[in-house]
Amino acid sequence: MRTVLQTNFNGIDALTLATVPRPKLTATGVLIKMQVVPVVPSDWKRETNPAATKEQLTDLPRPIGIGGVGQVVAVGAKRDPALFNQRVFVLQPSGSYADYIVSENPDFIFPLPATVTGASAAALTAGPGTAWVLQQAILASAATEILITGANSVIGLYLLQLLQPTVKRLYPLVTAASQAYFKTQCPTQPAYTPATLPHTLNQPLIIDIAGYRPLLVNLTQRFPEAELVSIAYQQKDLPHLSFVHEQFEPQRYRQFIQQLAVGRLIAPIDRTFPIAQVKQAQHYAQDHHSRGRVLVAF
């Protein structure tokens, strides 16, 4: 079978599309034929830096990817036989870019309703779970005015959906190059740049998705008492900064899937590349302004 292997830390162009034996089904495993997987920033970060994420992933070679969508083709003796032949969203921190994977963790596999496309489900990886954490920070804050950097990102667009309806006043910060795209995704929500923010703002809560230090310095100097909650910036050189990250909760993902099924949540999706073009897919996602999740199909 095909798999995409990382064999060193020389970056995207060092990835290898290899042929390896199909994994053997275990008694506690579920064999999944993968169909579509997402490209997420942690992919290329891990490919250049062994300390990029908290997981211990420095043993090489290793298959890349952390999740995706596929169809269950075999079920181990100690797993639920009803999973057989079901289409599932699966989280696979040990690597998902392969024709077949064996999922051992029951909490990491989610059957999909017929109304949820594979692409939409794959785009749940590294998206709404993090947005939910930011939503909770906003709801817990006494601030009534919320600045959101990187609002046109996948996480930003999920966050704006999760916040509806809201009594808070939202000020999504979007670069000039992404204003038109943002308007297509959120036609009723005005977008701002630092220069166009209202002068009446008074110490808003700053939600940081972009992690761009010059912008954060600008905002913290303008609003010196404002709380700053970031998923992307961990340095201790900015005032009132809290770094947050997702704590995985299976029930939350079941809720996201149900929201996709009824149209209450829309997955932002850009382009889909074939597996043979995985390097092009990662370069495209890394080098272009976010226009939705980039996917790779088997």
DSSP state of 195: G
Mean pLDDT of the chain: 96
pLDDT the model gives residue 59: 82
Question: What single DSSP character describes residue 22?
Answer: P
Please report, for residues 155, 176, 240, the alpha-carbon distance to residue 199 in angstroms, rounded to integers and kept in the order given: 27, 19, 21
What pLDDT is recorded for position 56?
52
pTM attached to this predicted model: 0.95
DSSP state, residue 207: E
Q: In residues, how long is the chain?
A: 298
Reduce the DSSP state of residue 126 to 3 states and report it: coil
The answer to which of 13-27, 38-52, 256-270 has the lowest mean pLDDT is 38-52
Q: Is the pLDDT of residue 15 over 80?
A: yes
- Looking at residue 197, what DSSP letter applies? S
**Mean pLDDT throughout 83-104?**
98
| AA identity, residue 298 | F
Compute the distance between CA of residue 127 and CA of residue 40 in angstroms, rounded to an integer.
Answer: 9
CA dihedral 63, 64, 66, 72 (to 10 degrees): -50
Residue in this structure with the two tokens 């997955």, named with its chain if needed: 267
User: What are the start-end ranges of the H helices in 92-249?
Assistant: 118-122, 128-140, 154-162, 179-185, 213-222
- What backbone torsions phi and psi does residue 206 show, to the nearest 5 degrees? -105, 120
* CA gyration radius, the chain: 20
CATH of 128-243, one of 3.40.50.720, 3.40.50.300, 3.30.420.240, 3.20.20.210: 3.40.50.720
- Evaluate if residue 57 carries a pLDDT over 70: no
**Other C-beta atoms within 10 Å of 158: how many?**
25
Rounded-to-integer distance, Cα 57 and Cα 50, Å? 7
Q: Check whether 55 has a pLDDT greater than 80.
A: no
Across the range 58-87, mean pLDDT stands at 96
pLDDT in tens, 133-150: 999 999 999 999 999 999
Cβ contacts of 237 within 8 Å, gap of 6 or more: none
What ranges do the domains of the chain cover? 2-124+269-297, 128-243
Q: Is the pLDDT of residue 48 over 70?
A: yes
Long-range contacts of 251-257, Cβ-Cβ distance < 8 Å, separation of 24 or more: 252/129, 252/132, 253/89, 253/110, 253/124, 253/129, 254/110, 256/124, 256/128, 256/129, 257/89, 257/110, 257/112, 257/113, 257/116, 257/121, 257/124
How far is C-alpha 194 from the geometric centre of its chain's CA atoms? Answer: 25
DSSP classification of residue 223:
S
Residue 81's Cβ-count burial label (10 Å; 0-12, 13-18, 19+) is exposed
| CA distance linking residue 290 with residue 259, whole number of Å | 23
Given a cut of 70, whether residue 82 has pLDDT beyond it is: yes
The predicted pLDDT at position 50 comes to: 78
Q: For domain 2-124+269-297, is the CATH number 3.40.50.970?
A: no
| pLDDT over threshold 60, residue 185 | yes
Q: What's residue 54's pLDDT?
A: 52
